[in-house]
A and B are shown apart, each in its own frame.
Chain A
Amino acid sequence: MAYSDKVVDHYNNPRNVGTLDKSAAEVGTGLVGAPECGDVMRLQIRVNPETNVIEEAKFKTFGCGSAIASSSLATEWIKGRTVDDALSIKNTDIVKELSLPPVKIHCSVLAEDAIRAAIGDWKKKNNVAEIAPPAK
């Protein structure tokens, strides 16, 4: 299978690889996928409690090159955004940016799930309503 240049770039030079302290109140962790399915993504965010801005994002992914690239790209995109803004990222945006072929669309879906799971975890920890109201 031929990979797009962007997928290759993220694979060779993944952005924001790492681990945040998952017990910290300002950290949200999303772990999605399953080893049997061949993809597991862990995406973590550190959110500024004053501004709700994602100041740091880290990932680790077990999966194919497209899965690695999708999660690497997701961390780039959510950094500097508010949590509610980050939720507006759609898997189709990732597909477009990385030129993923149809058989790899599930990688982008997983990355979107990972963003949602990490934000959901942070909201739960901080008692923020599951569906955030519009900005005050």
Chain B
Amino acid sequence: MSTGPSQAEIPAGVTLPIYMDNHATTPLDPRVLEAMMPYLTTKFGNAASRNHSFGWEAEQAVDAAREQVAKLIGATAKEIIFTSGATESDNLALKGIAEMYRERGNHIITQVTEHKAVLDTCKRLEKSGCRVTYLPVKADGTIDLEDLRRAIDDKTILVSIMAANNEIGVLQPVREIGKICHERGVLFHTDAVQAVGKVPLNVIDDCVDVASISAHKIYGPKGVGALYVRRRNPRVQIAAQIDGGGHERGMRSGTLNVPGIVGLGKACELAQENLLQEASRTQCLRDRLKTKLEAELDYVHVNGSMEHRLPGNLNMSFVYVEGESLLMGINDVAVSSGSACTSATLEPSYVLKALGLGDDVAHSSIRFGLGRFNTEAEVDYVAAKVIQVVRHLRELSPLYEMVKDGVDLTKVQWAAH
């Protein structure tokens, strides 16, 4: 038997391997690199050097980037703090606010499908006297706003809810959350890493007080990010978590990563220029992939809301096929799986489990992340390849055979190990 996955034809215009994991990271846009190059070579000055031209040109570049970042989210330049990336931004937001507002309260509200940068920070804050409420999500991956209203009490200082989820791409109702927070006088932080530059986000209209941003998710360089910190209505104060030279208005010391910041700025500018156009193009590709897979395969389902979702995200379970074995068959396509076998902890995705999916469905999930540089030809190749490999693996799957024979798998006495 050789239904093996190695014989798929490579169509014209497709170069292998194909990168379709744009939630993990994105390739650097050549225009971003071009903007950065001078600051990696001749314009090497320290933006904090006040008394020579090398410092001045670096500072000017940083100021311009601050404008570009601010503009993308409807903020002002003074509200942007540069960091080493979104993990640092999340840490600074949560720890900085918990410390600064300690006298007002110690209660933080978040939700169960947040990124680990938020969840693990909350776990640490719990050890130092904070009380954290982890809201559940509905089957579609969004939170229930009534749950949020009920969870706010007189000790609540902060709500931290992501704008878009990194695994299932589900968009939380940011504006409604922001309004509730402002009505109740509670600060609202959003981890906007996956959403910024992909879907419209405006910190004024959406009532966001603090937002985490990363460059490498929007075709910028790794190692640089930003934190938006609102300056009025209300003025948010954050206790620094890194002490030193008092950079970034004292909120984040450390010599500025000038080339990285220039890259982040350029990436934001590019994202803003074509935001809606790029979103609709990416969504067309995503929908094309989904349609093809659903037309050819049975027992597939999309995890999380299709309605409230990032345009480039498709998280699908190919039931009765284990995710890692599927990845192995499509090894010339870079995607991710929620399968336990692909994780360091040997636990299936906590995000998929939070949707109420069984471990068996989580084990069968694949995350496709489409982005700026994916093409229709790539989508067609990936769809054909996935269909071929899923069929191959289902021929090997005792579960698929049992289901086809009418066996109810939930009634089988499994010898769990």
Contact = CB atoms under 8 A, between A and B. Distances in A.
Interface of A: 3, 8, 11-14, 17, 19, 31-42, 60-65, 67-68, 103, 106, 109-110, 113, 117
Interface string B402-417: 0000000100101111
Contact of A62 (B5, B321, B359): B321
Contact of B1 (A13, A31, A64): A13
Kindly state the interface size class of chain B when it binds its partner.
20 to 34
A130 to B, nearest CB: 17
Contact of B396 (A33, A61, A117): A61
Interface stretch (B63-71, B172-180, B297-305, B339-347): B339-347
B233 interface: no
Contact of A110 (B346, B401, B417): B417
Interface of A is mostly: mixed
Given A17-B396, A64-B328, A34 B340 contact: no
B6 A62 contact: no
A34 B414 contact: yes
Nearest first, the 6 closest Cβ-Cβ pairs linking A and B are A12-B4, A34-B414, A35-B360, A36-B359, A42-B398, A60-B398
Contacts of B2: 12-13
B348 interface: yes
B49 interface: no
B334 interface: no
Nearest to B2: A13
B340 A62 contact: no
Interface string B313-346: 0000000111011001100000000011100001
Given A31-B398, A34-B414, A60-B396, A65 B359 contact: no
Interface of B: 1-2, 4-6, 320-322, 324-325, 328-329, 339-341, 346, 348, 358-360, 363, 395-401, 409, 412, 414-417
B342 to A, nearest CB: 8
Which among B4, B322, B359 has the highest number of chain A CB atoms within 10 Å? Answer: B322
Nearest to B416: A34
